[in-house]
Amino acid sequence: MPSAKLMQGNEACTIGALVAGLEFYAGYPITPSTEIAELCSEELPKVGGKFVQMEDEIGSIAAIIGASLTGKKSMTATSGPGFSLMQESLGYASETEVPVVIINVQRMGPSTGMPTSPAQGDVMQARWGTHGDHPVIALAPGNVKECFDLTVRAFNLAEEYRVPVIVLTDEVIGHMREKVLLPDWEDVKVVDRARPTAPGGYRPYEADLDGGVPLMAPFGQGYRWHVTGLFHDETGFPSGKADVADRLLRRLDRKITKNEKVIRDYVTESVEDCEILVVSFGSSAMSALSAVRRARREGVKAGMLRLKTIWPFPDEVLKDLSRNAKAVLVPEMNLGQLAYEVERTVGCRAPVVRIGKVNGDLFRPDEIHDKIMEAAK
């Protein structure tokens, strides 16, 4: 039986990756994500995997895309500055449908910013950092246990839909240690990409046009196929034809939109009769939960929606929960990024109050509590 342990968020991400079947890590260490690289360098060789410290983050993401093409589950970890450098190849992974996992332990930006301080400023970068419409999934753990759970899930979703999946944590969650009880490894559900059974007649990008996922052949095992960031047809070779481009991009997009209900993941507290709805994620949500609980004890009908899947954004869930809200509050450690989506989704049903914090400190619960009380007046 597993026993409860004191575990760090970055450590839990790494263990989750190993349980999910991580075989290849390439990265450039950066605070506050470094522990993930350190642990992977220690643990991967023990299970026959490979760890490579790269020259930079551009090389890191390129290396994990290459490794994934050979059939190995691959990951990198970084923070804002490195995540910025990865954007070009992140688009390449989306276009070529190569499953990779990127853990972004967010710190204060822009630029080098405050290396050791938490922030949540990469919400929009995770969605729109690379150019062009592209499918992407971003998950946001809210505690150390979820660092494990959602890293496993990131691999599973990446394999299932052949998309890059971003695990968006932050300095607080990444460095925090808490009591964690992990499940037996054998009980953890692990998904592997669907593969063709024989090389003969393999068409690498053949799939149902309504969000289908093509079979993925591992390089080096008798399959020959072409991988390109150019728009391509079912053979994998480039095509400049309008209908080919349109079909491909719509299929890529549908992989996510069609499965949003399955990908969506969230937790709620006291939402049944809530008038003040707080929407948050990651470490801000810990402060928000404390504030919501205090407001409840004081007789205010406050409730909370905490997103574990940020992208795709769960429109339907928020629409339902905000139906009777008098106000929707969005505390986040940026100047309003998730708030854009909340405003779009809630529309004119209720005023959306942005609560941004950008000084490198986690919210104190009373800062959010004050806003709840103000909104409840």
Partner 1 sequence: MRTEFRLSGSGGQGLLLAGIVLAEAAILEGKNAVQTQSYGPEARGGASKAEVVISGEDIDYPKAMDPDFLLALTAEAYRTYGKLMKKGLIIVDESVPPSEDIIARTARVPILKTAAKDIGKSVVANIVALGVLAGVSGIVEPGTLEAAVKNRVPKGTEELNVAALKKGFELATAFKAKA
Residue whose CB is less far from partner 1, 33 or 287: 287
207 versus 289: smaller Cβ distance to partner 1: 289
Angle between helices 9-20 and 34-43 (to 10 degrees): 40
Query: Containing H/E element for 298?
Result: none
Contact with partner 1 (CB under 8 A): which of 43, 88, 178, 343? 178
In the bound complex, what is the minimum distance in angstroms from residue 304's beta carbon to partner 1?
11
Q: Contact letters (x/-) for partner 1, 36-75, by CB under 8 A?
A: ----------------------------------------
**Does 182 participate in binding partner 1 (rule CB under 8 A)?**
no
Give 284 or 334: the residue with its C-beta nearer to partner 1.
284
- Verify binding: residue 31, partner 1, rule CB under 8 A: yes
Find tokens 């007789």 and name the residue: 299
Q: Does 362 bind partner 1 (CB under 8 A)?
A: yes
Nearest to 69 by CA among 234, 193, 187: 193
- Contacts of residue 129, defined as CB under 8 A and 6 or more positions apart, other chains included, come to 83, 84, 87, 90, 122
Written in H, E and C, the secondary structure of 227-272 is CCCCCECCCCCECCCHHHHHHHHHHHHHHHHCCHHHHCCEEEECCC
In the window 118-157, what residues touch partner 1 (CB under 8 A)?
none
Residue 29 is a binding residue for partner 1 (CB under 8 A): no
| Whole-angstrom distance, CA of residue 92 vs CA of residue 132 | 11
- Residue from the set 289, 310, 318, 350 that interacts with partner 1 by CB under 8 A: 289
* Identity of the residue, 124 or 358, whose beta carbon is nearer to partner 1 in the bound complex: 358
Question: Taking the C-alpha atoms of 57, 62, 66 and 68 in order, what is their torsion angle to the nearest 10 degrees?
Answer: 60
* Token digits of residue 147: 């660092």
Tokens of 198: 């024989």
Q: Is residue 81 reached through a cis peptide bond, with omega within 30 degrees of 0 on the bond before it?
A: no
Told to check if 303 binds partner 1 by CB under 8 A, we report no
Q: How many residues lie near partner 1 (CB under 8 A)?
A: 23
Query: Residue 310 is inside which H or E element, if any?
Result: strand 309-311
Contact window for partner 1 (CB under 8 A) among 89-97, 168-176, 235-243, 345-353: 168-176
Listed ranges 14-22, 42-50, 111-119, 126-134: which one lies at the site for partner 1 (CB under 8 A)? 111-119
Crossing angle between the packed helical segments 365-376 and 284-297, to the nearest 10 degrees:
50
Contacting partner 1 (CB under 8 A), which of 264, 293, 296, 326?
293
CA-to-CA distance for 93 and 65, rounded, in angstroms?
Answer: 7
Q: Does 84 bind partner 1 (CB under 8 A)?
A: no
Q: Which residues of 49-60 are buried (b: 16+ CB within 10 A; e: fewer)?
A: bebbebeebbbb
Closest CB 368 distance from partner 1, rounded Å: 10
CA distance 110 to 121: 8
Q: Of the two residues 6 and 209, which places its CB atom closer to partner 1 in the complex? A: 6
Cβ at position 340, least distance to partner 1 in Å? 26
Which listed range, 50-58, 199-207, 322-330, 362-370, lies at the site for partner 1 (CB under 8 A)?
A: 362-370
Residue ranges that bind partner 1, judged by CB under 8 A: 4-6, 31, 115-117, 172, 175-179, 283, 286-287, 289-290, 293, 362, 364-366
